[in-house]
Structure 1
Amino acid sequence: MLTLVKNAQLFSPEPRGLCHLLIADQRIAAVIDASEAVNLGPLISTVDLEGRRVIPGLVDPLVHYIGGGGEGGFGNRTAELSLQDAYASGVTTLIGALGTDALTRTPANLIGKARELLAGGLTAYAYTGSYQLPPVTLTGSIASDILYIPEFIGVGEVAISDHRGSQPTTQELTRLASDARTAGLLAGKSGIVFIHTGDADSHLEPLREVAKHSAIPLSQFYPTHINRTADLFEDGLRFAREGGFIDFTTSTTPELLAGGEVPASEAVARALKARIDPSQISLSSDANASLPEFDEQHRFVGLKPGKLSSLFEVLGECINEHHITMEQALRCASTTAADILKLPRKGRLEEGADADFIVLAEGRWAIDQVWALGKSIYGSNP
């Protein structure tokens, strides 16, 4: 059955005005101006949104959906992401990753959870590998994981400038990026190398060294946590000016903020003011990861879990507190990540795109409904 979602104040992410969305086979078959007459007969289900704002479903490039943590021992492992929390977050496309723990959590766990999320109506991909090198894989190599496993679209979260990483050399990072890039080309995937950036003074320099001494471009890397310290943020702006991508983390804690983290919405506003193009800026939640606190000797103090809901919350802060346009903010929360990860049907609401969208509540920043792959999965129209 076809579904006609009528009278949506549409942001695609660019503002489209009042439109109808015709949904067929999980995708948007047509975007119809509301002024046009529509008569599609009795075999169509109709939902009238009465002028409420509609935005693309969010694309989150870093979700630890099988949990993370463990830096303080087994009692500090964070929980897996539940379907209910995912539905309520407005995130309709999730990219899963391992983190510090690639011993008790494995690539096989990631694939199993990705398929659970898919069975629940969401879209889920994953990165093979983890913080450490040599990378953990499912098939024996990064290249074959990306080439043969549908869910694997790149490698990550590989740690640089962090005491918990394996301190990779330029040669090791170059080989990793080369393998991922070639496999991505062969598989028609991004082959991206998603980078966890720690707070060491080297910041993003290891990635520059790869680009300087090889044919691998900076854009092969996708570094996150760029707002974790003031110095890293400034280095991230320089990295973007040099042609790279930067990702800001929306989950935070009072301790991280007190330690100098730049709030994610402020980071977006400052990056845009610095004339960094929105196509180079994204937001990720780091959901269900541990957000650990260490003392000056790098001894573990404590941790809190990341929240998937933080992505939608920060999107609202960008718009309502920093007066970033809806279009620019949505690009950072959805479209940019989709483009970097080569997911062309995600992060936009246009003919041929997947029917993933959020219906905003009337007159306030809140989620009224979430639709994923053409079906309502959360809210007032279940």
Structure 2
Amino acid sequence: MLTLIKNVECYSPSPLGTVDILIANNAVAHIARDISMHSPSLNIIDGSDLIALPGLVDSLVHISGGGGEGGFHTRTPQMQLSDASLHGVTTVIGALGTDATTRTLPDLVAKAKGLNIEGISAYCYTGSYHLPARTITGNVTDDVVLIDCIIGVGEVAIADHRAAEPTFQALAEVAAQARTGGMISGKAGIVYIHTGDGKRQLSVLHDVVDNTDIPASQFYPTHINRNQSLLDAGIAWTQKGGVIDMTTSTNKQFIEEGEIPAAEAVAYCLNKGVPANCLSMSSDGNASLPIFDDVGQFVGLEVGKVGSLFGAFKALVLQHNVSLENAIAIVSSTPAKRLKLHHKGKIEVGCDADIVLCKKTTLDIVHVVARGKQLVKHSKVLIKGMFE
């Protein structure tokens, strides 16, 4: 399977100028100014007036669906292949959240394996909001070591009324288990953290890092754009070497209550001197976004969209004047590096051929290639999931 992208302005995420990109099977085989070859099986993509960037890496998607706050009938649907591919997301990491009762880890792993067959790359976390963590094998370390698609534990909830209010000791223990599993298997062993709007904010993470030998890089807190106070606390966390993640799925009520749009929050952090390699965004796709009335009664919900990640990327560049190089890093190379997905998040020879081709002026997506296979052509879905 050969694909040749001609005359495209390439960002790896660092700018490479106008080049040709040869893809053989699932990997980038060659990048040069002018590649000339002929083969009856060669797929040629005209990259003129387009830019190429690495496929987006979404570090939090409820790929198997999530529980809703309004009862059994409000459980959110599974993610479909085109929910990701149409919006340039070629790598997803699946998680359980509040509901680890009707949503299970075996189902999550099966969904990840199914998405890998359909065409994108999918990984997942063991555990859920609560500690002690639910696992498949009986403990976190064994799940990370023995189950190929599991790369860490999460999303463990802190500072949230739905959390198990994890103690310093409990969080330190699960971090050590995940870290050990990561070391043995060569994976990230990351502890992905759901951060609520409670007054404790990130204090328990500071307690673990300050009182154990576990580094800040072992934790990956998300939802940091919930409010201004939490965002400032997140900036303090990056000063210890940690990364912070902004959530791109939102609704009108969340914004009215003080949530900061993800792109705006990232731009604020960059202006405060936080480096791009300490910042990322994720969609929280297929999560429930509950809507409450004036007295706090549930009245409905919206569903998180994987496509919101690319929308926030565009807003970074077009509305907040963040450089393409930094914006691309925030949605591709930074999460890939933090999750130790070394073959993702960059356009380099030998890396997975996950490439998004966009219009230069509008950043609208034209073509999407994932693991060497073209999934989107001229902004239309070329390959659909099994049940789409």
Q: TM-score, normalised by structure 1?
A: 0.96
Partner of 2:325: 327
Moved more, 332-341 or 133-142: 133-142
Partner of 2:95: 97
How far did 1:48 drift? Answer: 2.2
Moved more, 197-206 or 51-60: 51-60
Residues 39 and 237 (structure 1), Cα distance of their counterparts in 2 relative to 1, 3 Å cut? same
Contact 2:49–2:359 (CA<8 Å) still a contact in 1?
no
Partner of 1:365: 363
Contact 2:67–2:103 (CA<8 Å) still a contact in 1?
no
| Residues 267-306 of structure 1: pairs in structure 2 closer than 5 A | 267-293=265-291, 300=298, 302-306=300-304
How far did 1:350 drift? Answer: 1.0
Moved more, 292-301 or 201-210: 292-301
* Amino acid in structure 2 at the alignment position of 1:336: T
Deviations 1:321-348 (A, max 9, x none): 0000000001111110000000011110
Residues 146 and 209 (structure 1), Cα distance of their counterparts in 2 relative to 1, 3 Å cut? same
How far did 1:364 drift? Answer: 1.9
326, 336, 339: which one pairs with 2:337? 339
Structure 1 CA distance for aligned equivalents of residues 75 and 91 of structure 2: 24
Structure 1 CA distance for aligned equivalents of residues 310 and 322 of structure 2: 14
Structure 2 CA distance for aligned equivalents of residues 205 and 298 of structure 1: 27
Partner of 1:160: 158
What value does the CA root-mean-square deviation take over the aligned residues?
Answer: 1.6
Partner of 2:47: 49
Contact 1:2–1:43 (CA<8 Å) still a contact in 2?
no
* Amino acid in structure 2 at the alignment position of 1:117: L
Q: Number of aligned residue pairs: give it.
A: 379
Structure 2 CA distance for aligned equivalents of residues 361 and 175 of structure 1: 47
| Residues 233-248 of structure 1: pairs in structure 2 closer than 5 A | 233-248=231-246
How far did 1:300 drift? Answer: 4.4
Deviations 1:360-381 (A, max 9, x none): 1364231111110111101228
Q: Does 1:217 align with 2:215?
A: yes
The runs of 5 or more residues in structure 2 that have no matched partner are 383-388
Deviations 1:115-160 (A, max 9, x none): 1111111000000000011111111111110000000000000000
171, 189, 198: which one pairs with 1:191? 189
Contact 1:287–1:306 (CA<8 Å) still a contact in 2?
yes
Residues 171 and 297 (structure 1), Cα distance of their counterparts in 2 relative to 1, 3 Å cut? farther
| Residues 1-382 of structure 1: pairs in structure 2 closer than 5 A | 1-33=1-33, 36=34, 38-42=35-39, 45=42, 46-293=44-291, 300=298, 302-361=300-359, 363-380=361-378, 382=382
Contact 2:68–2:290 (CA<8 Å) still a contact in 1?
no
Partner of 2:385: none
Structure 2 CA distance for aligned equivalents of residues 198 and 39 of structure 1: 54
Structure 2 CA distance for aligned equivalents of residues 332 and 295 of structure 1: 35
Structure 2 CA distance for aligned equivalents of residues 43 and 234 of structure 1: 56
Contact 1:284–1:311 (CA<8 Å) still a contact in 2?
yes
Structure 2 CA distance for aligned equivalents of residues 163 and 8 of structure 1: 49
* DSSP-derived class of the 1:89 partner: coil
* DSSP-derived class of the 2:86 partner: helix
Moved more, 293-302 or 141-150: 293-302
Moved more, 122-131 or 65-74: 65-74
Structure 2 CA distance for aligned equivalents of residues 90 and 329 of structure 1: 14
Moved more, 70-79 or 218-227: 70-79
* Amino acid in structure 1 at the alignment position of 2:246: F
Structure 2 CA distance for aligned equivalents of residues 39 and 319 of structure 1: 33
Deviations 1:100-123 (A, max 9, x none): 000000110111110111111100
* DSSP-derived class of the 1:336 partner: helix
Q: TM-score, normalised by structure 2?
A: 0.94
Deviations 1:179-198 (A, max 9, x none): 00011000000000000000
Structure 1 CA distance for aligned equivalents of residues 240 and 232 of structure 2: 13
* Amino acid in structure 2 at the alignment position of 1:16: L
How far did 1:39 drift? Answer: 3.1
Structure 1 CA distance for aligned equivalents of residues 243 and 362 of structure 2: 31
Structure 2 CA distance for aligned equivalents of residues 240 and 319 of structure 1: 22
How far did 1:242 drift? Answer: 2.1
* Amino acid in structure 1 at the alignment position of 2:14: E
Contact 1:4–1:44 (CA<8 Å) still a contact in 2?
no
Structure 2 CA distance for aligned equivalents of residues 44 and 54 of structure 1: 22
